[in-house]
Amino acid sequence: MPNTSENTDEARMALANRVFFRLYQCANMLHKTGSRAVEAEGLTTQQWAVLGALSRDEAEGGMSVGDLARYLKVSRQNLSGLVSRMERDGHVTTAPDSRDRRSRLVTMTGSGQHVWKVEAQPKIYAYYEQVLDGFSVNDVTHTLHYLLKLLDNMQRVDDAQGERKSRRSDAGPAA
């Protein structure tokens, strides 16, 4: 008699493999097709994400580089280069944070707000319409629910991996 528990585990892992491969493909397609949607504005999907994060009501007055990196789920090092390019292009400014002088505050400029609201957002919304073609509001709601659930689980894994890495480095070199 076949082991149904083992078969169920194998089927679950086969499905998981398909889910994560599709997420990988979607991320790559978002980068490629999303960047094309806003390339006339001189933006990439990464810059679109930064402007989107800074345009939220909660970010009025700017965000520290660390908070912005945590929000976007990117490393401070990767964000730093991106913010430098956006500052060069006039979309954002950085300045010492008055609450913590060691931290830098990233703020959208007037030019960045114009690019975001007037030029990029209409194209982004048109892009959303295209890629969500055939999705009902219910479909989008369910997709968002499951993506948030997955993101929470992935954040827990990331936190645990960071704690293990920290404990290993605190222990020092092995004797």
Q: For the packed helices 76-88 and 65-72, what is the interaxial angle rounded to 10 degrees?
A: 110
The three-class DSSP label of residue 96 is strand
**Quick one: which H or E segment has residue 31?**
none
Q: Which two tokens stand for residue 65?
A: 């580089």
What domains sit in the chain, N to C, each tagged with a CATH number? 14-131 (1.10.10.10)
The answer to whether 71 and 151 are in contact (CB under 8 A) is: no
Tell me the pairing of strands 100-108 and 92-97: antiparallel
- H helices of the chain, in order, are 4-29, 35-38, 45-55, 65-72, 76-88, 110-114, 121-131, 137-171
pLDDT 10s digits, 124-173: 999 999 999 999 999 999 999 999 999 999 999 999 998 777 777 666 66
Q: Which residues contact 43 (CB under 8 A, 6 or more apart)?
A: 35, 51, 115, 120
The answer, yes or no, to whether residue 98 has pLDDT greater than 90, is no
pLDDT, tens digit (0-9, with 9 covering 90-100), for 45-64: 999 999 999 999 999 999 99
Higher pLDDT, 175 or 149: 149
pLDDT at 175: 47
Closest by CA to 91, choosing from 53, 34, 35, is 53
Q: What is the pLDDT of residue 125?
A: 97
